[in-house]
Chains A and B, each alone.
Chain A
């Protein structure tokens, strides 16, 4: 049994717009849900708020994946143990099947830009992330998954490619990968690389979860806005990738122009159809 994942089937990034659908109908089209950890953690110097109690109700019906946006693993700032203690409190209370965050940084000198900023792919950044990751996983008492970023700039000083950097991270840290296929596609357009070639370099045995999402087309580049349906190119990449590595827990993220649940559910059912054609993982 691979320690980095268990195929949980098809999920969705649950947002407040669909809370009532889940509380009233408990849709069977999804077998798990993912939530943004920070939206359910206690606020600073406070106890759990109302959102946590809503999440506890969802947890009665669905396994939960916790996905963070503020771990700031790529920052030169030291780890924020106040944040980590609140994250751990949520983990202990919810018992998620997986915990993830992003391979990026969100700010330095204590500031938070609330964005997922790219790191230069250097030995210095690699060593920093590995050191911080070891402490995070030790503190949380579990391996986490790190998500590949979507990015709009690359550094001239990078010493390796993003897939090489990710390979080294997973090899040396014991963490797994949350592979966002839309991010791969967005970055491939923005930086001019072959997304299939990128995916071939990702160690499939360490991919614990897959994200699918939509993006916005701008003049010559793509922005990872999560405000549109998954595009055909991303579906093609996804189908091809899981035909190579086997099924993985896969979900759709939608954060803007959020449609009615029934509309989003049509996309979600498409994952199930693709899963049906793929071999089981394990």
Chain B
């Protein structure tokens, strides 16, 4: 370039200036001065747009975290998050994935709220299973396995387990017991009825109880019946 900076240097300076909200002299010198807008103002357009875009995206995805927070504190949390966690995703929606982990460190009491918000986003985004069998198929003898619905999301922490699932297009939550969690994890990759009976035997659960639980979860779309490939 005219000022002897190669493209990598120019892009490094611009990216840094946008993320740090600074106006380094060696970058300002590279930008054409054209009235009526000064160079600082031209750079500020990109800086402001960056922080507005990123913070609005997080604020929208985690609205419950921010709803009772004073705006100064919210702005500081958002600014810290954006500065310490540059996006490496191609889709802004996926950037939110990093937020619960961040909030766990800076505002631990908001962690579960943030985690549930992210689980809700993932649960809403997931597709329905393309190979779900209907009751009619099963009654006509189709072979199947019982499997966790692709929209369901399980989170297990030391103290608590959380299940997010999508029932009739609405995301719902359940706090499964350790026994329920163990069954859900067992079904994550899909199990036949024989395997389910074996699981019941090993875990001292009656056949009636396990059938009642899985049937209820199928109704709630936590599980689904998947046609068995031969």
For B87, the chain A residues whose CB sits under 8 A away are 107, 111-114
In angstroms, how far is the closest chain B Cβ from the Cβ of A276? 37
Q: Is the CB of B31 within 8 A of A153?
A: yes
With A and B bound together, what is the CA distance between A109 and B12 in angstroms?
A: 9
Cross-chain contact A157 with B92 (CB below 8 angstroms): no
- Binary B-proximity of A189-215 (CB < 8 A = 1, otherwise 0): 011100000000000000000000000
In the complex the two chains form, what is the Cα distance from A111 to B12 in whole Å?
11
**Contact in complex: B54, A152 (CB < 8 Å):** no
Chain A minimum-CB-distance residue to B124: A50
Stretch from B1-9, B72-80, B174-182, B200-208 forming part of the interface with A: B1-9
State the Cβ distance, B205 to closest chain A Cβ, in Å: 32
User: Is A75 in contact with B11, judged by CB distance below 8 angstroms?
Assistant: yes
Interface size on B, residues (CB 8 A): 46
Which single residue of chain A is at the shortest CB-CB distance from B86? A111
- Whether A51 is near chain B, meaning CB under 8 Å from some CB there, is yes
Judging by beta carbons under 8 Å apart, are B90 and A113 in contact? no
Kindly state whether residue A141 has any CB partner on chain B within 8 Å: no
B57 (CB) vs chain A CBs: closest residue: A114
Q: Among A76, A110, A113, A190, point to the contact of B19 (Cβ < 8 A).
A: A113
**B125 pairs with A50, CB closer than 8 A:** yes
Q: Chain B, 167-200, contact with A by CB distance < 8 Å: what is the 0/1 string?
A: 0000000000000000000000000000000000
Task: Report the Cα distance A80→B88, complex, angstroms.
Answer: 11
Q: Is the CB of B91 within 8 A of A39?
A: yes
Q: How far is the CA of A107 from the CA of B19 in the complex (A)?
A: 11
Residues of chain B with a CB closer than 8 A to A122's CB? 1, 7
The minimal Cβ–Cβ distance linking B9 to chain A, given in whole angstroms, is 9
Q: Give the complex CA separation of A111 and B88 in angstroms.
A: 5
A112 to B32, Cβ gap below 8 A?
A: no
Q: Is the interface of A mostly helix, strand, loop or mixed?
A: loop
Q: Which residue of B lies closest to A53 (CB)?
A: B127
CB B23 to nearest CB in A, in angstroms, measures 12
A49–B30 CB distance below 8 A: no
In Å, the complex CA distance between A69 and B212 comes to: 48
Q: Of A27-35, A40-48, A240-248, A261-269, which stretch is located at the interface? A: A40-48
Find chain A residues with CB under 8 A from B128 CB. 50, 53
A44 touches B89 (CB 8 A): yes
Known contacts A122-B1, A155-B30; A38/B91 CB under 8 A: yes
Contact A112 B88 (CB under 8 A): yes
| Given A50-B125, A122-B7, A125-B7, residue A157 in contact with residue B90 (CB < 8 A) | no
**B 84-121 to A, binary, CB cutoff 8 A, 1 in contact else 0:** 00111111111100000000000000000000000000
Q: How far is the CA of A191 from the CA of B10 in the complex (A)?
A: 20
CB of A114 within 8 A of CB of B53, answer yes
CB-based contact B34/A117 at 8 Å:
no
Residues A36-80 near B (CB distance < 8 A) = 38-39, 41, 43-44, 47-53, 70, 75-76, 80
Q: Does A154 contact B (CB under 8 A)?
A: yes
Given the complex of chains A and B, what is the CA–CA distance between A109 and B19 in angstroms?
Answer: 13
Chain A residues within 8 Å of B150, by CB: 47
**B56 to nearest A CB, angstroms?**
11
Name A51's contact: one of B18, B90, B125 (CB within 8 Å): B125
Say whether B49 faces chain A, with CB atoms less than 8 Å apart: yes
Nearest residue (CB) in B for A122 is: B1
Contact of A152 among B8, B46, B53 (CB under 8 A): B46
A157 in contact with B30 (CB, 8 Å): yes
Render A209-227 as a binary contact track against B, CB cut-off 8 A, 1 for contact.
0000000000011010000
Q: Which 3 A-B pairs have the closest CB atoms?
A: A157-B1, A157-B2, A70-B90
Which residues of A are in contact with B by a Cβ distance under 8 Å? 38-39, 41, 43-44, 47-53, 70, 75-76, 80, 83, 86, 105, 107-115, 117, 119-120, 122, 124-125, 128, 152-158, 190-192, 220-221, 223
24 A–B contacts from the bound complex (CB under 8 Å): A43-B94, A50-B124, A50-B128, A53-B128, A76-B7, A107-B15, A107-B86, A113-B18, A114-B53, A115-B46, A115-B50, A117-B11, A120-B10, A124-B1, A124-B7, A152-B45, A153-B32, A153-B43, A154-B31, A154-B34, A155-B32, A156-B30, A220-B37, A223-B45
